[in-house]
Amino acid sequence: MQQEVKSAVAMGVLEAIRTRRTIGRVKQDPVDRGVIESLLEAANWAPSHFNTQPWRFIVMTGKGREQLGEGYAQVAAADREGISETDMQEVREKEMVKAMRAPVVIAAICSPSDDPRALMAEELAAAQAAVQNMLLAAHAHGLGAIWRSGAPMYHPRMHETLALREREELVGLVYIGYPDMTPPEPKRGSVASKTVWVEEV
């Protein structure tokens, strides 16, 4: 009986992996705080080398998303030396739209451990695994989510705006809300074409 229960749970996980889709357009309906905390809890159970758990999160909702919008604005203005206050306000208004595309935006941060055994590449991989857990949990709650990245995420001005600590790196900006689109059917190449089996002969 116990084995049957485990199999049922495993099938649920596999189904979630297969059916999760990137949802780039969501409604502005609020998401309950308890649901958001459930996503964070799922992220917190990601694997990490030496159990360093090298992740932390900034959850932005409501006017809190303006912090991210300001980050986008600072990055956009970075190469415009001597920009006027009027032009800066126009940039800010334009870039603020990016932060408002979902009712919840979670900045996922790799906060590397001081453990000398921990390699940065492995710390980043662990934080990225936490994001995948979060995406699967969002799907399980009937939410849509998209893992956004891109050049602004890595810019020093974005790091300053989000008050990242020394050595910390953004690994994703996860936009979350209730779906406002039907995602297209995804395409996947055959896993057989990407796999080499090494077996005893």
What does the pLDDT look like over 115-131, one tens digit per residue? 999 999 999 999 999 99
Assign 82 a pLDDT band (cuts: 50, 70, 90): confident
Q: What is the mean pLDDT of residues 94-100?
A: 97
Across the beta sheet with 55-61, the strand order is 55-61, 104-110, 169-177, 144-148
Q: Which residue has the higher pLDDT, 14 or 39?
A: 39
Fold of 22-182: NADH Oxidase (3.40.109)
Q: Residues 68, 99: contact at Cβ < 8 Å?
A: yes
Q: Does the structure show a pLDDT above 70 at 27? A: yes
Residue 8 CA to its chain's centroid (Å): 28
Q: Does the structure show a pLDDT above 80 at 112? A: yes
**Strand 169-177, strand 144-148: pairing:** antiparallel
Q: What is the mean pLDDT of residues 185-194?
A: 92
Residues 30 and 45: their CA atoms lie apart, in Å, by 25
pTM of the model: 0.91
